[in-house]
Amino acid sequence: MKILSLHIENFGKFSNFDISFVDGVNQFVHQNGWGKSTLSAFIKAMLYGMEAKGRKKDFQSQRSRFEPWQGGVYGGNLTAKIGDGKYQIFRTFGKTPEEDFFQVVDLKTNKVCKNFDTNFGEQIFGIGEETFSVSTFFVQSDIQSLATDEVVAALAGIEKYNNDAEKVEQAISLLEKKRKSLVSQLAKPFQINALVSNIEQAQDKILQKQSQETQLQKQAQKLQSENEDFLKHFEKQTEIVKEQKSQNEKRQTLEQSLNQKNLQLAEELSKGSKPVKQLLLGGVAIGFGVLLFALALAKVISLALGIGVGLVFAVAGILTFVLSKPSSKQTIEIQQEIVLLQQKLLLIPKQQVDEGQLYQQKSEIDNKIAQSQFLLASCQNDLAELESELDLLRQNYSALKSENEILNKKIAITKSAIEFLQNARENVSQRFVQPLNENFLTLFEKFSANEKVKIDSKLNALIMTEKGGKNLQFLSRGYQDLVVICQRFGMLDQLYKQEKPPIILDDTFVNIDDEKFALASQIVKTLSEKYQVIYFSCSRARKIL
């Protein structure tokens, strides 16, 4: 494509402005403020239109920056040779893209071309506006390389772009985010270790409880056995107690009868003149005799001694009553009855079993058994809770382990997908990296034999050192500009396989010294053999000769 002429109706400071162009290098050397940047922006706007107001911050996309200073129709037209044809592009701009006007006229037939639309530049160059901006459109003080996915796709020879490269980058970015998200969901080692530690502690507690349960069961069995033996003893002792109660009732009956007979005897004796002293001695003797009988029966003293001596005292007491005064027949009968009652009392055994103590022993054994059963039940309940807790911990551990396995599989799949896309991207980039570096070095080595610079697959220019690649920031601004200029010049032929666009240079070499500018001029003149060059400068010293 060659621009033949243009007409600016109103665009920025320009109004009713016309200019013509030739093949090769078109130079415009004017002082600052003349409108070089405005004219560059107009050419680009004719080819690609203008972005919506406020959509971008760079000046060529700000409609408000180039609104006519004096008002009137906002736009103009551009005449160009495209292939074998000659066309005139008309554009006017409103506040928004919807208000814009676009038309292309075929100057051979003077008919409106229906096969062009507002994406005119992309239709004829096969390159979008963004790639055009970072390849052939060198804006003043902004010539840094901008590697877009469209540039990569075009360099790689992908004919139908359709945002594939961008989608690959987006996919890699999304997959990487997903991978990080999955990694963040993995159970941390300390969480797993804590679960394992809790499981081990629960197992230890269960073993301790099981040992305690065994001891309590043995204790309960021992108490049960003791209780069975005691119940047999208790049953026998209970029978004895019953017998004792029957004997006690007999004793009480005999003692009551004895007391009554003693009272009767006392009354009979009181009727006579029996000396009180003899009566007392007789009573004491009889009582002592009865006491000895009782001691003998209770086995406190020997039976022979108790009965023999007790009988002597009892007989002596009776004789004392008899000899002191002849007793009446009734008195003698009473005395005989008393002796008989005393003998019967002596034959009744004393109580040998303490019923209260017996039941106290039973109560103590029952309490021990109840306490043992309570402790055993409590221990078994604790054991059941610990086993339930252990089951839950094992379930959590199993679930955590299973979840980690699933997550690790997903992470591995995601990682494989990322590596696959990265390898695919690298394979695509390999198509253009080598020829791009060859073209770049052909241009750059004319300016510097010392600096070794290479272009990577992402179109980053790196200074190669013994310690690896370093960023361009380590170079001076002039060298940085030269690297980017050579890089962009070097990829023109690979990018533009259809129509060749004009190269627009707006004070591009402002940071380059005079010696290197002379070399740059030679490169520009060489490029002008294939490409139309429109060069703007504010300095006559920077004019390409």
**Which residue has 């382990």 as its token pair?**
401
* Domain shared by 200 and 345, yes or no: yes
- Tell the burial category of 257 from Cβ atoms under 10 Å away from its Cβ (0-12, 13-18, 19+): middle
Together in a domain, 39 and 125: yes
Can you give the pLDDT at residue 7? 97
Residues 251 and 123 in one domain: no
Residue recorded with tokens 């680009």:
44
Record the tokens describing residue 173, joined without a space.
Answer: 């970015």
DSSP state of 101: E
User: What CA–CA distance (Å, rounded) separates 8 from 78?
Assistant: 9
pLDDT score for 164: 59
d(CA 91, CA 77): 6
Contact between 67 and 25 (Cβ < 8 Å)? no
- The residue ranges of the chain whose pLDDT is under 70 are 53-62, 140-166, 271-283, 288-289, 293, 296, 298-300, 303-310, 313-314, 317-328, 349-353, 428-432, 448-451, 455-459, 461-463, 466-475
Tokens 């005449």 — which residue? 79
Q: Which residues contact 193 (CB under 8 A, 6 or more apart)?
A: none
The pLDDT assigned to 434 comes to 72
Helices 355-444 and 189-271 pack at an angle, to 10 degrees, of 170
Q: What is the CA radius of gyration of the chain?
A: 64
Q: Are strands 533-537 and 503-506 parallel, antiparallel or unpaired?
A: parallel
Domain shared by 89 and 213, yes or no: no
**Same domain membership, residue 335 and residue 203:** yes
Domain membership flag for residue 41:
yes
In a domain, 62, yes or no: yes
Domain presence at residue 298: yes
User: Residue 457: CB partners within 8 Å, gap ≥ 6?
Assistant: 425, 426, 429, 430, 433
CA-to-CA dists, residue 286 to 39, 205, 251, 335, angstroms:
160, 77, 19, 11
Give the DSSP H or E segment for 82.
Answer: strand 75-82
Give CA–CA dist 211/215, Å, rounded. 6
Please tell me whether residues 351 and 497 are part of one structural domain: no
In a domain, 344, yes or no: yes
Query: What domain count does the chain have?
Result: 2
433 and 455 Cβ atoms separated by less than 8 Å: yes
Together in a domain, 98 and 25: yes
Domain final residue, candidates 355, 387, 410: 355
CA distance linking residue 30 with residue 38, whole number of Å: 13
Q: Is residue 475 part of a domain?
A: no
pLDDT at res. 135:
83
Residue with tokens 């009473």: 334
Residues 139 and 227 in one domain: no
Other residues' Cβ atoms within 10 Å of the Cβ of residue 525: 14
Crossing angle, helix 329-347 and helix 276-297, to 10 degrees?
20
Of 303, 331, 355, the domain-final residue: 355
Could you list the residue range(s) of the whole structural domain that residue 508 is in? 2-146+492-542
Non-local (6+) Cβ contacts of 285 within 8 A are 313, 314, 316, 317, 320
Check: CB of residue 36 under 8 Å from CB of residue 26.
no
Q: Are 334 and 264 in contact (CB under 8 A)?
A: yes
User: Could you tell me which of 1, 30, 2 has the C-alpha nearest to residue 13?
Assistant: 30
Asked if residue 212 and residue 124 are part of one domain, the reply reads no
158 located within any domain: no
* Predicted local confidence at residue 542, as pLDDT: 82
Do residues 109 and 201 both lie within one domain?
A: no
In a domain, 89, yes or no: yes
Q: What is the pLDDT of residues 238-267, one digit of tens each?
A: 887 787 788 788 878 888 888 888 888 788
Domain identity same for 227 and 347: yes
The confidence score (pLDDT) of residue 334 equals 79
- Asked whether residue 134 falls in the same domain as residue 247, the answer is no
CA angle 157, 162, 167 (to 5 degrees): 95
Where is the domain boundary, 355, 373, 402? 355
The encoded tokens of residue 241 equal 């107690």
CA-CA distances (angstroms) from residue 79 to 43, 68, 310, 319, 497? 11, 21, 165, 177, 22
- CA dist 66 and 494 (Å) reads 33
Give the C-alpha separation, 327 to 332, whole Å: 6
What is the tens place of the pLDDT at every residue in 11-65? 999 999 999 999 999 999 988 889 998 999 999 999 999 887 654 444 445 688 8
Q: Is residue 481 part of a domain?
A: no
pLDDT of residue 337: 81
CATH of the domain at 528: 3.40.50.300
